[in-house]
């Protein structure tokens, strides 16, 4: 098994943020009293993705208030966050369910119960109320930061205008492994009144540089919508990828053909991994792998397979 990485960002006690002002624990809302969009900054969808905690607590600690519209700051899965163990830093991503795959009516209105479902049901009106959503995430491997969003023009225009991160993973048909928070309700609809809803994957979970990216992207996002004064650096070249397949781990024998961190490419038909008797082969030329699993767990995602999009 791969050795644990250095942990550069120290976990902090979030109990001071528990009593928000919305009736939902760890959710804080600030209204400007002036017309403008309602922007949600959401952190800790996964318990060990510490960069979101840094960005969200920065907003609260520095008393950021919207010049227009409404700002909501949410710490999503504090129960998982509090389960962090420095000796096993990857294990508190979730407790039972992946909080970022259960945002469909079938899951939220269904009979099952778990810490994640209870929290998602609490957060449901918070997410539904937002015009624009930034959901802050990080990756198990140290790779370049990237956006993830459904392939709606409203999402692409915001991500391209902000320009940081400069890499985009576009989902034409969703993730294929459940419904993420950014596709809940109207934000998952092609037409209608929804605004932008984006994930920012800011880098490796425990690096200070990742927390710095998360904070910068959060401020850029708020600046883009006019909630704060923020000069956004004109974007440089952007690279965009389209998600072709999401492959899940089916057996304990899952293995990649070679070590992968992310952004490696494969020729069409080239063998990427085996999963018991199944072979996972590249569906296209220049197939790019994103977020290959660090430790295969049956029932969880193994890898995203994407193809580059022309500018």
pLDDT digits (tens, 9 = 90+) for 107-117: 999 999 999 99
Look at residue 77 and tell me whether its pLDDT is greater than 80. Answer: yes
Q: Which pLDDT band, with edges at 50, 70 and 90, does 88 fall under? A: very high
Q: Which helix (H) or strand (E) holds 121?
A: helix 115-129
Closest alpha carbon to 259 in 296, 292, 308, 220? 292
120 phi and psi, to 5 degrees?
-60, -40
The model's pTM: 0.96
The two tokens of residue 11 are 């976990």
Domains of the chain with CATH codes: 15-224 (3.40.630.10), 243-309 (2.40.50.630)
Return the closest-CA partner of residue 169 out of 146, 198, 135, 144: 146
Percent of the chain with pLDDT over 70: 99
Asked whether 168 and 240 are in contact (CB, 8 A), the reply is yes
Q: Dump pLDDT digits (tens) for 216-228.
A: 999 999 999 999 9
Residue 234 has pLDDT above 90, yes or no: no
**Predicted confidence band of residue 5 (pLDDT cuts 50, 70, 90):** confident
pLDDT at 311 over 70: no
Asked if residue 207 lies in contact with residue 184, where contact means CB atoms within 8 angstroms, the answer is: no
How much is the average pLDDT of 252-267?
Answer: 97
* Residue in the block written with tokens 């940081």: 164
**Tokens 């225009």 belong to residue:** 157
User: What's the rounded Cα separation, in Å, for the pair 89 and 71?
Assistant: 31
Contacts of 295 (CB under 8 A, 6+ apart): 1, 2, 90
């Amino acid at each position: 098994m791969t050795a644990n990485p250095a942990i550069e960002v120290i976990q902090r006690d979030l109990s001071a943020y528990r009593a928000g002002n919305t009736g939902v624990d760890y959710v804080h809302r600030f209204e400007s009293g002036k017309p403008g969009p309602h922007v949600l900054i959401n952190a800790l969808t996964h318990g060990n993705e510490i960069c979101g905690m840094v960005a969200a607590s920065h907003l609260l600690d520095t008393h950021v208030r919207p010049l227009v519209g409404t700002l909501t700051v949410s710490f999503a899965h504090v129960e998982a966050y509090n389960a962090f163990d420095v000796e096993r830093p990857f294990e508190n991503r979730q407790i039972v369910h992946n909080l970022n795959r259960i945002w469909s009516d079938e899951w939220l209105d269904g009979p099952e119960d778990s810490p994640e479902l209870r929290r998602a049901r609490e957060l449901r009106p918070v997410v539904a109320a937002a015009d624009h959503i930034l959901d802050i995430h990080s990756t198990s491997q140290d790779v370049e930061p990237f956006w993830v969003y459904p392939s709606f023009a409203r999402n692409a225009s915001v991500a391209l205008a902000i320009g940081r991160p400069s890499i985009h993973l576009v989902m034409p048909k969703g993730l294929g492994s459940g419904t993420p928070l950014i596709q809940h309700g109207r934000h998952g609809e092609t037409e209608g009144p929804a605004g932008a809803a984006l994930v920012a994957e800011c880098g490796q979970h425990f690096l200070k540089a990742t927390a710095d990216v998360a904070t910068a992207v959060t401020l850029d996002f708020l600046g883009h919508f006019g909630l704060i004064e923020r000069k956004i650096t004109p974007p440089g070249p952007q690279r965009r990828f389209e998600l072709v397949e999401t492959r899940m781990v089916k057996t304990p024998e899952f293995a990649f053909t070679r070590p992968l961190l992310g952004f490696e490419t494969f020729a069409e038909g080239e063998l990427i991994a085996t999963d018991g008797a199944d072979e996972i082969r590249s569906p296209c030329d220049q197939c790019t792998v994103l977020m290959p699993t660090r430790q295969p767990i049956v029932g969880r995602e193994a890898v995203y397979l994407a193809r580059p999009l022309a500018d």
